[in-house]
Amino acid sequence: MKVYTKAELNEYSLSLTYDDISLIPHEVSEIKSRSEVRTDTKFLNRKMNVPVVSSPMDTVTGIDMAKTLKEMGCIGILNRFDSSLDTFLNYPKTENTIDAVSVGLYTEEDILEKLAELGVIVCIDTANASNREVLNMCESVKKKFNVKTIVGNIAHGATLKDLVNAGADAVRIGIGGGSVCTTSVQTGIGIGQVSSVLDVFLTRERENLKIELIADGGIKSPGDVAKALALGADVVMLGRMLAGTKETPGEVIKYSDQLWKKYRGSASFGVKMKSEFIEGEETMVPYKGTVRNVINTISDGLKSALSYMNCKNLQDLRKIDAFTILSNSSYIERLPKK
């Protein structure tokens, strides 16, 4: 079995995703228990207890989700598709309970000015950050308002320097990897999330660029969170893992004696509400209860990963340079059997 470094994994002949790789404990761990390790970090000058950022999808992050995540030491990016943004702008008392807000490519300047006054992170929520209009908007927002700015999404590091030059403070990495995203099917665009994160991370290191990295899409479990961080991501962005929780927008629906909540992609018909090119789907996910349970599960899984890898904190985890590639049978062998 070959043990791959990040550089070697990036040169692998096929595009890889989280199910294709595994971390390798390659030294004796000195950590006695999970209580000895730390999962706190800093992202865009915000202190975080767990490196989780919620996706600005209309069925994931409303005001309740953003407030609860901040209370837990995570970041919720308020979606721009319904009344959440209006509510936030009209009730400034929420200023201290919400970190982050998403905006569209053509958001009015008075809204951007208000967001700057409130001191929140601005996420320019587009599907393709490697676009001149996106770069122009990022540059304008930074020059006029000097706020922390996230742009997205990119699939590799070829345009990373352009984003940095436009003033982006962080970038969302991943095109087509979301569970309700059909971009790759509809357009033929996108590569596996492991390959995406690695290429952008190694580009940042090679060119000494100052920008923070968000692994966005394809994360299904706490183990995937650990893999994404070990590959070089600063934080992970979650959609489906948070979907279906009490704090997500929308009603709980009872069907076939089970409880469900709606989950849909940002480019789905339910969001656009018009018959144009659709790059997202709608579905129902089981009701999960409070999001605090999900974040606690992620935290526990991440702490276990750190203890296995003899890492005392996330900084140590990001230094890991030992990965293996799994065969399909090897991956299946690791799944719980009923």
- Residues contacting residue 233 through CB under 8 Å, at least 6 positions apart: 173, 197, 201, 213, 214, 215
What are the residue ranges of helices labelled H in the chain?
A: 6-10, 63-71, 84-90, 109-118, 132-145, 160-165, 183-187, 193-207, 222-230, 269-272, 291-308, 314-318, 328-333
Among residues 74, 123, 138, 181, the one annotated as catalytic is 181
- The answer to whether the CB of 53 falls within 8 A of the CB of 100 is yes
123 is catalytic: no
What are the residue ranges of helices labelled H in 208-327?
A: 222-230, 269-272, 291-308, 314-318
R_g of the chain, CA atoms, integer Å: 19
Q: How far apart are CA 25 and CA 40, in angstroms?
A: 22
Question: Which residues are catalytic, by number?
Answer: 181
